[in-house]
């Protein structure tokens, strides 16, 4: 594991060094601060896993980064570009992809069409009207389908896929966008053991050329993939570092086992 000690550089280091820098991020829902002055940094080609008890604000952090929720204050910079003022689709265009907790796919369309719609071309009205299913699209769809184990199911209606296959399909829909940063919310939740193994294999393939932020509860899975782990608690960073470091942090033990 290439656990680069980015922490040593600290926030005062130039932000350009980081792929993503979140600083002093806060969001409050009617006075309740779901995320509270949160700061963290993700490096190029890093796999960051966010863990934390229920209600720690993990999903909210992803929502804030991808623009689904508006922050109350703070900044999110992606390659030095401020994301907080952008709309969701603009954030996608800058290279951030997001997978939801529950598989979010188009049930009425086939696997092929699901992937095709995520292919990054013809994303405006005119482009969509004139979009052609050419060789480039077909070969890219097939390539991604191969990766996500759905090559033989391209013409299947997505509604009848199994839960695990739907999760894969959504990951595939992200991959075909070729984002630089992938954000996955509990990618193995609800999967069978064999599906988990295949997913870990898939993620290990993906991370070779992407940066990834993953929210996950499955500790074994986290150990397998994480470069660094951020533990959130009540909207704040409780601990950050390698898996071992985090596991031995008394504050983390307190939150998970204490009270």
Partner 1 sequence: MNITRLFDRSEWLGFAAIAAILLILFPSVIDIFRLNLVGKYLTYAFVAVGLVLCWGHGGILSLGQGIFFGLGGYCMAMFLKLEASTPENTSIQSTPGIPDFMDWNQLTELPWWWEPFNSLAFTIVAIIVVPSILAFIIGQAMFQRRVGGVYFAIITQAIAAILTILIVGQQGYTGGINGITDLRTLLGWDIRTDSAKYILYFVNVILLLGVVMIAQFVKVSKFGRLLVAMRDKEDRVRFSGYNVSDFKVFIFCLAAAFSAIGGAMFTLQVGFMSPSFVGIVPSIEMVIFAAVGGRLSLFGAVIGALLVNFAKTTFSETFPELWLFAMGGLFIAVVMAFPNGLAGIYSTYVKPLIARILPNEQKAANAAQATKVPTKALAE
Partner 2 sequence: MIGDYTYVEFSSILAMQGFAGLSLFSVFVLMALGLAIIFGQMGVINMAHGEFMILGAYVTYFCSLFFQEYLPSLFGIYFFIAMILAFFVSGALGVVVEWLMIRHLYKRPLDTLLATWGLSLILQQFYRSVFGAREVGVTLPDWLLGSISLTDIIDVPINGLFVMAITLTITLGVAFIMYKSTWGKQIRAVVQNRTMAGAVGINTKMVDRMTYGLGCGIAGVAGSAFTMIGSTGPTAGQLYIVDTFLVVVFGGAASLLGTIASAFTISQAQSTMEFFMSGSTAKVLTLLTVVGILMLRPQGLFTLKIRR
Residue ranges binding partner 2 (CB under 8 A)? 29-30, 34, 60, 63, 68-69
- Using the rule CB under 8 A, is 20 a contact of partner 1? no
Name which position in 17, 107, 244, 254 contacts partner 1 (CB under 8 A).
Answer: 107
Instruction: Cite the beta strand spans of the chain per DSSP E.
Output: 20-29, 32-42, 47-51, 73-78, 81-82, 96-99, 181-185, 211-215, 228-233, 236-241
CA–CA separation, 6 and 46 (whole Å): 10
3 state SS of 203: helix
The yes or no reply on residue 108 touching partner 1 (CB under 8 A) is yes
Tell me how far apart the alpha carbons of residues 32 and 57 are, in angstroms, rounded to a whole number: 11
Residue 106 binds partner 1, judged by CB under 8 A? yes
Q: Applying CB under 8 A, does 154 fall inside the site for partner 1?
A: yes
The four Cα atoms 78, 80, 82, 83 give a dihedral, to 10 degrees, of -10
Q: Which does 128 bind (CB under 5 to 8 A by kind): partner 2, partner 1, none?
A: partner 1
Task: Report the DSSP pairing between strands 47-51 and 228-233.
Answer: parallel
Picked from partner 2, partner 1, none, the partner binding residue 123 (CB below 5 to 8 A depending on kind) is: partner 1
Q: Which positions touch partner 1 (CB under 8 A)?
A: 66, 68, 87-89, 92-93, 97-98, 100, 104-109, 113, 116-118, 120, 122-125, 128-132, 152-157, 160-162, 165, 170, 173, 177
């Amino acid at each position: 594991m290439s656990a680069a000690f980015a922490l040593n550089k600290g926030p005062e280091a130039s932000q350009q060094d980081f792929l993503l820098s979140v600083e002093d991020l806060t969001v409050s829902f009617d006075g309740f601060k779901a995320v509270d002055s949160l700061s963290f940094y993700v490096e190029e080609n890093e796999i960051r896993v966010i863990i934390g008890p229920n209600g720690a604000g993990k999903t909210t952090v992803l929502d804030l980064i991808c623009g689904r929720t508006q922050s109350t204050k703070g900044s999110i910079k992606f390659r030095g570009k401020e994301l907080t003022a952008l709309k969701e689709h603009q954030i996608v265009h800058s290279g951030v992809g997001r997978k939801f907790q529950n598989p979010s796919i188009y049930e009425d369309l086939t696997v092929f069409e699901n992937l095709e719609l995520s292919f990054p071309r013809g994303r405006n009205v005119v482009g969509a009207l004139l979009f052609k299913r050419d060789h480039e699209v077909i070969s890219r769809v097939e390539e991604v389908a191969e990766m996500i184990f759905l090559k033989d199911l391209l013409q299947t209606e997505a509604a009848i896929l199994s839960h695990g296959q739907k999760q894969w399909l959504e990951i595939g829909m992200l991959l075909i966008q070729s984002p630089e940063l992938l954000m996955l919310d509990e990618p193995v939740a609800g999967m069978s053991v064999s599906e988990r193994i295949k997913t870990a294999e898939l993620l290990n393939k993906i991370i070779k050329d992407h940066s990834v932020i993953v929210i996950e509860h499955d500790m074994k899975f986290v150990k397998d993939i994480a470069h660094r782990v951020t533990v959130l608690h009540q909207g704040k960073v409780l601990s950050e570092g390698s898996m071992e470091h985090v596991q031995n942090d008394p504050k983390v033990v307190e939150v998970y086992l204490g009270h």
